[in-house]
Structure 1
Amino acid sequence: MEGVKILTVDDEIGILKLLDITLRKENFTNIDSASNGKDTLQLIKDNHYDIILLDIMLPDISGFELCTAIRNHTNTPIIFVSARSTDFDKLTGLGLGGDDYITKPFNPLEVVARIKAILRRQKMYENTQQQLEAKFDFGYFTLNPETATLIVNKLPVECTAKELELLQFFCKNPNRIFTTSQLYELVWGNDVYGEEKTVTIHISKLRKKLGDDTRKPRIIVNLRGIGYKFIPPKEESLCE
Structure 2
Amino acid sequence: MNILLVEDDKNIREMVCDFLTSENYNVITAIDGQTAIDIFKKHTFDIVLLDLMLPRSSGFEVLKYIRSVSVIPVIIATAKDSDTDKMMGLNLGADDYITKPFSLVELLARMKANIRRATVYSNSDGSRDNVIKYKDLTINVSKYTVSKNGADLNLTHTEFEIIRLLATNQGRAFSKEQLYNTIWKEAYYGNESVLNTHINRLRNKLSDGIDKNNYIKTLWGIGYKMEEE
Question: Normalized against structure 1, the TM-score is what?
Answer: 0.85
Which residue is equivalent to 1:13? Answer: 10
Between the aligned partners of 2:36 and 2:14, the Cα distance in structure 1 is 17
AA matched with 1:15 = I
Which residue is equivalent to 1:87? Answer: 83
* Pairing 1:140–2:136 present: yes
Between the aligned partners of 2:184 and 2:162, the Cα distance in structure 1 is 9
2:118 to 119, 122, 130: 122
Which residue is equivalent to 1:63? Answer: 59
* Pairing 1:24–2:15 present: no
2:145 to 125, 143, 149: 149
1:105 to 76, 101, 108: 101
* Pairing 1:188–2:184 present: yes
- Contact kept, 8 Å, 2:80 with 2:101, in 1: the verdict is no
AA matched with 1:144 = N
Residue ranges of structure 1 left out of the alignment (5+ in a row): 235-240
Distance 1:98 1:148, change over 3 A: same
Count of residues in correspondence between the two structures: 227
Between the aligned partners of 1:197 and 1:97, the Cα distance in structure 2 is 13
Distance 1:194 1:35, change over 3 A: farther
Between the aligned partners of 1:189 and 1:159, the Cα distance in structure 2 is 20
Segment of structure 1 superposing worse, 126-135 or 43-52: 126-135
Distance 1:73 1:208, change over 3 A: closer
Which residue is equivalent to 1:237? Answer: none
Superposition RMSD in Å = 2.2
Between the aligned partners of 2:42 and 2:224, the Cα distance in structure 1 is 40
AA matched with 1:213 = D
User: Could you give the per-residue CA deviations for residues 184-230 of structure 1, whole angstroms, max 9, x where no partner exists?
Assistant: 2211222267732111111111212222623xx24211112211112
* Pairing 1:39–2:35 present: yes
Distance 1:170 1:28, change over 3 A: farther
Where do 1:68-79 residues align within 5 Å?
68-79=64-75
Which residue is equivalent to 1:51? Answer: 47
* Pairing 1:163–2:159 present: yes
Residue ranges of structure 2 left out of the alignment (5+ in a row): none
Distance 1:76 1:205, change over 3 A: same
User: Could you give the per-residue CA deviations for residues 98-125 of structure 1, whole angstroms, max 9, x where no partner exists?
Assistant: 0001111111111111011112333455
Between the aligned partners of 2:7 and 2:189, the Cα distance in structure 1 is 22
User: Could you give the per-residue CA deviations for residues 39-70 of structure 1, whole angstroms, max 9, x where no partner exists?
Assistant: 21121111111110000110111111110011
- Contact kept, 8 Å, 1:110 with 1:193, in 2: the verdict is no
Which residue is equivalent to 1:213? Answer: 211
Distance 1:127 1:7, change over 3 A: closer
Between the aligned partners of 1:130 and 1:46, the Cα distance in structure 2 is 29
Distance 1:84 1:73, change over 3 A: farther
**What is the SS of the residue equivalent to 1:101?**
strand
Between the aligned partners of 1:43 and 1:228, the Cα distance in structure 2 is 39
Question: Normalized against structure 2, the TM-score is what?
Answer: 0.89
User: Could you give the per-residue CA deviations for residues 145-204 of structure 1, whole angstroms, max 9, x where no partner exists?
Assistant: 444432223433222222122211211121112122221221122226773211111111
AA matched with 1:140 = D
Between the aligned partners of 1:57 and 1:177, the Cα distance in structure 2 is 39
AA matched with 1:116 = K
